[in-house]
Amino acid sequence: MSEQTEQTKTESSKRVREGVVVSNKMNKTIIVSVTRLLRHPKFNKIIRRQIHYAAHDEKNLAREGDRVQIVESKPLSKTKRWRLVKVIS
């Protein structure tokens, strides 16, 4: 297997999430709120669930309210297991 194929395989196996930056008050760290929709098993109503992820922002690019894409990474600190990939808007 070539290096490029191997790298693409490991990158594609990592989870990617898209969400909104809730807080950027820490240095090189942002809190991203990711909302997902799911159907209730019994009542078939659409329910909104959200979770907050602490993500590593090396260059402090993201601002509060920005829509961002984050990817799973190795543990960077006690709570950070995600890295910022790009700022969408």
> What pLDDT score was predicted for residue 3?
59
> What pLDDT score was predicted for residue 65?
96
Could you read off the pLDDT of 24-53 as tens digits, one per residue?
A: 999 999 999 999 999 999 999 999 999 999
Name the CATH topology of 15-87: OB fold (Dihydrolipoamide Acetyltransferase, E2P) (2.40.50)
Amino acid at 61: L
Distance in angstroms (rounded) separating the CA atoms of residues 80 and 54: 5
- Average pLDDT of the chain is 92
> What pLDDT score was predicted for residue 12?
72
78: which 2 tokens? Answer: 């006690």
* Segments making up each domain of the chain, as ranges: 15-87
Distance in angstroms (rounded) separating the CA atoms of residues 89 and 79: 25
- Average pLDDT for 1-23: 78
